[in-house]
Amino acid sequence: MKKIVNDPESVVEDMLDGLISAHPDSLQKLPDTTVITRKDAPITNKVSLVSGGGSGHEPAHAGYIGNGMLDAAVCGEMFTSPTPDQVLEAIKAVDGGAGVFLVIKNYTGDVMNFDMAAELAEAEGIQVEKVVVNDDVAVEDSSFTTGRRGIAGTIFVHKIAGAKAAAGASLEEVRSSAEKAVANVRSMGMALTPCTVPAAGRPSFTLDENEMEIGTGIHGEPGIERKPVAAADAIAEELINKILEDIEFNQGDEAAVMINGMGATPEMELYILNKKVNQLLKERGISTYKTFVGNYMTSLEMAGCSVTLLKLDKELKSLLDAESSAPAFRV
């Protein structure tokens, strides 16, 4: 295993300390936790957003803390859900009196632990609402989930809900906009190589040199098919076709597109993929409103990508365009 780490057991703590060192004016770490918050939290009378999950998906989720997106991120151990008490500490730290909204990826541990934290917070008088993101069209159930997984489309939900909260919306209004985003976002990914969790010291799965996996999750979960490596255009077509089988787009509809790298994919390859994705959308009469290309939700050093489409209406376009000061998503 070749990685730039110290002790494999302390990578999350070391990473978070380095993150704070990079953004000391805007981010802070709660003592004795793996919770990162805005430095100006809590903000009085603003709905606060909390998300999180296992580490190893950087810049998700702490990279999305800032005005117009998250107020806090709870960072679990590698590919492991944060505990309920850590999530509760995040909720309490950012509650400004208008309630706290949780954005949860649909993984069994995340859903269970965030739900438990919400119940504990409500027992302390904090109003909490939530949304569960399940944008992955590849598989209905997996080794980590009941129902569809939450993957890179979660970033669009952070943006939509965060912008709504920043505009002064109520907790119910934030939930309504977030639910609209979840209903209109779809993603699908693929992998060329596995990743290695530092503490494990070996790849999470194996692929032959000439193989790729279609439909993998962000933890290296199995996809729907293992097949010979194909050209970028063929990969783009397979991912887009699967997405468009699952959500209805009409002629003239607009979409936000995210071409997400899994950690080790050069931007060159992501842009090559994006060329075909935009061509395919144009052929179907779908207008690309905005395109995001880069590493948004990774899987350590996995080589591969995911494609996300967010079907837009007037409200979602406005919220997507709203200001964000988050380090990994500046608008």
Which residues belong to the active site?
Answer: 57, 219
Helix-helix angle 84-94:108-123, to 10 degrees: 50
Query: What is the rounded CA–CA span in Å between residue 23 and residue 64?
Result: 12
CA 255 from chain centre, in angstroms, equals 18
Asked if 103 contacts 74 with a C-beta cutoff of 8 angstroms, the reply is no
Query: What is the rounded CA–CA span in Å between residue 260 and residue 297?
Result: 7
- Other beta carbons within 10 angstroms of residue 126's beta carbon come to 18
Tokens of 204: 């999470």
Task: Classify each residue of 52-81 as buried b or exposed e, where b means 16 or more C-beta atoms within 10 Å of its C-beta.
Answer: bbbbbbbbbbbbbbbbbbbbbbbbbbbbbb
97's CB contacts (< 8 A; 6+ apart) are 42, 44, 45
Asked if 41 contacts 97 with a C-beta cutoff of 8 angstroms, the reply is no
Task: Classify each residue of 244-260 as buried b or exposed e, where b means 16 or more C-beta atoms within 10 Å of its C-beta.
Answer: beebebeeebbbbbbbb
Asked if 235 contacts 188 with a C-beta cutoff of 8 angstroms, the reply is no
Torsion of CA 14, 16, 20, 21, to 10 degrees: 20
Q: Is the dihedral of CA 242, 246, 249, 250 positive or negative?
A: positive
